[in-house]
A and B are shown apart, each in its own frame.
Chain A
């Protein structure tokens, strides 16, 4: 009977070999995909209990992990939560991560390949792995100015501010109101986190929406900068004579385009500069018709429309519609119809003009460091597109300076500094108040900051809403904060 026993021994060897191969497969080959599975509580708990690295602004911590004295060991804590919520985002054990907490998760949690050596050292020293730190590009003064500027408006304001360094694309301020407190979501108390989540995501409140990057609005007259850039790049000069007057009948339709408040823009024949200074709808609608939809679209896209260029924050691309007819082209040329832009996008339009026509790719992470403070990565400014020539940029700058010195943009004036800007008051529908916009940069001869301010809704009567009047002072405050630093 020994031969069958020997064969059985081989059979048992096969059985045990199968078991061994299988656990190698599960625990090594399949491990990563199992760990990445949504709802894997082991991984969630481990992520949650890790000592994440801090997020810093101007060298000061705005988000850090502090001991929680419970089973998860650490809880995320946000200083100035409302002020920086859009930039930091949140880190929740139950609802995941958002914004920089999301995009820089691998560094903050310590799982990034660049922290490999640190992990080995932690493993050998039997220490809990630590995350690296992330320094944001935000300027704390500019950020505070933007936030307080929005808060100073009467009533339940909804609005946003985006400020850029035109030379690099670094985001200097990113504010959105209403804001939210990420600490409410970071709590380990599931009941509390759940209640906060329900409240924050409740329909209509949109408290977690980042209006500066994630939401797009009709840019209204601020879009005339793009139309003007198209014109200047196609043979026009600031002194070219364009059509003025009170109204423009649109081709192929019975609709007629009017100016705000029934003005005639100062005559039937005006200069391009004059058209921009008084924000003449008739002139720019007519320009749009003569330039054509294709050229407008190409120019808009060179400023960043219809593109995704930011992955560090929740982002919606701004839109310039494609395949439009003539009346739609005329409306699009003045920032109406289906044209929609985020405040960040409009800040990029201003920044591109300020930077000699080169639109820089925006970014919010300035520096990434390992737990022992070695710099792992420093932001490298990148040109997104050369939107216009340096000459056209210079001409546009002069036209925008005129807007602030003598046109609709006077509220953005700063004594002793030459400010360039453009206002916008976009009517979305008859039933809601118009969106108030202000897009500026300063100083005009050596630009250090470009700002876009949008007021979606505030406690001001409809007749009193103008881009310059509402958004102008906020833009001014942000520019001052940057220039006086």
Chain B
């Protein structure tokens, strides 16, 4: 640990704590111009004029962004200034695209269900959730006390859709629960619970997992009894894959666990074990389950069955139609792709904003992930580090799995695109995730409390600033 501590110390020593809230506000203005401007352009592109509700819509978005900003200013003044503007920009772009697809679908069928207004309401609820997270979680380290509660909650949430009457099968995947008229994707919230659980569990267990074991072929292999948790996680992931037909969540949770195991123990052998287990699981489910084969076939040869892979093909057509510069807001036909407003919103944006716009959006996600990992780097407590890594990696994996799926880089799996896709549970969970990263970030970036000078025999894990 001593080497790490030294590195950490060196880093911290060069860091000057600054609040940077003004920067955040300036970036927020840019993000709002992007979101509200997109909404106006949707109206111009489809109906030839700025939409009449632009004032109400625009002020709604501005107020929500300001509420979030003020909450950060008050409750996490030292938090990273880039994260919130990135999220607001994505949320605004998503709203504009959902509105645009509503218009396209209404033109085809005046009876179509519309999503944009509902999504704006969800955005408001999510910002509320964001503020509440910042208010309630005043110090992320307190979450460590709820390690096993969160673990249990996560597993229960994941398994809820399998409960008869409660779980519903929507579009082939049993990842929804239905309460009256509301449907909810518990996996999105489970993501946060499990990130907290993994972080809390691994902080305690990491020494045992890291130090014991045998060396084989140049790799330090873990002890058999330490394999327990990873095997359990693997089985749960396989269960999600098999019983809920949800490749995306399965990959996400297992990947998250393996990644955190690696960070906690600093042992690459866990990555090897994880990758081997994942590859084996994926291969056997490919052999055993027709729905997995269907996904792989649709990835490799979508044109082999144009009816079955209609959605993938339409998504590809949309991307191709967008080309380098895109058709422009309201000028493409994203509504031709089924679920263009949820899973396939990446293709819709690629069609209307083109390669250029879609690349910019991916880079925004890259920024979010990078800011999350940076938070982990400068965070001083191991739980906070693991939590920030977990949240950032969950975002990275989810973005990769869903955008990779809809652009046919990897087999298509059902996951929402964070902040862009229509869907309340996803939006709420992702805003809460960002709130947690900001919470850790605030802690990491704020000035150290004035500690008494360290004694020579003090624990090396407590680092004082000069």
Contact = CB atoms under 8 A, between A and B. Distances in A.
Contacts of A3: 4, 7, 266
A45 B333 contact: yes
Interface string A1-17: 11111101100110110
A28 B323 contact: yes
A485 interface: no
A39 B306 contact: yes
Contact of B323 (A8, A15, A19, A31): A31
A22 interface: yes
B396 A12 contact: yes
Interface in A30-54: 30-32, 34-35, 37, 39-43, 45
B109 to A, nearest CB: 13
A18 interface: yes
Interface stretch (B13-21, B72-80, B174-182, B400-408): B400-408
B366 A23 contact: no
B32 to A, nearest CB: 25
A71 interface: yes
A34 B316 contact: yes
Contact of B4 (A2, A12, A30, A41): A2
B4 A35 contact: no
B317 A40 contact: yes
Contacts, number: 127
Contacts of A253: none
Given A1-B382, A12-B369, A23 B332 contact: no
Interface stretch (B51-59, B163-171, B355-363): B355-363
Interface residues of B, number: 53
Given A9-B370, A19-B409, A42-B333, A31 B362 contact: no
B359 A23 contact: yes
Given A4-B262, A27-B355, A45-B333, A12 B366 contact: yes
B4 to A, nearest CB: 6
A31 B365 contact: no
B396 A15 contact: yes
Contact of A16 (B107, B321, B333, B362): B362
A377 interface: no
Contact of B350 (A2, A23, A32, A42): A23
B318 interface: yes
Contact of B320 (A8, A16, A34): A34
Interface string B108-152: 000000000000000000000000000000000000000000000
Residue with the greatest number of chain B CB neighbours at <10 A, chosen from A2, A24, A37, A39: A2
B365 A42 contact: no
Contacts of A417: none
A19 B324 contact: no
A8 B389 contact: yes
B264 interface: yes
A30 B8 contact: no
Interface string B412-441: 000000000000000000000000000000
A19 to B, nearest CB: 5
A376 interface: no
B68 interface: no
Contacts of A1: 4, 263-264, 266, 376, 382, 385-386
Contacts of A379: none
A30 B389 CA distance: 36
A35 B320 contact: yes
A20 B369 CA distance: 15
Interface string B205-226: 0000000000000000000000
Contacts of B319: 23, 26-27, 31, 34
A1 to B, nearest CB: 5
B155 interface: no
Given A18-B409, A71-B107, A42 B321 contact: yes
A2 B382 contact: no
Contacts of A37: 303, 317
A8 B386 CA distance: 12
Interface string B367-386: 00110010011000010011
B355 A24 contact: yes
B259 interface: yes
Given A27-B350, A42-B333, A12 B359 contact: no
A34 B317 contact: yes
Contact of A35 (B11, B263, B321, B363): B321
A16 B396 CA distance: 8
Contact of A20 (B322, B359, B376, B397): B359
A23 B4 contact: no
Nearest to B351: A42
B322 A5 contact: no
Contacts of A15: 396-397, 400
Given A1-B263, A34-B320, A8 B362 contact: no
Given A12-B370, A26-B407, A45-B333, A20 B362 contact: yes
Shortest Cβ-Cβ A-B pairs, 7 listed: A34-B320, A31-B320, A22-B409, A27-B355, A4-B263, A42-B321, A15-B400
10 contacts: A1-B386, A5-B263, A8-B263, A12-B373, A19-B399, A22-B407, A22-B409, A30-B316, A37-B303, A45-B333
Given A2-B11, A3-B266, A23-B359, 11 more contacts: A1-B263, A3-B7, A5-B377, A19-B362, A19-B403, A20-B359, A20-B362, A23-B355, A24-B359, A28-B355, A31-B321
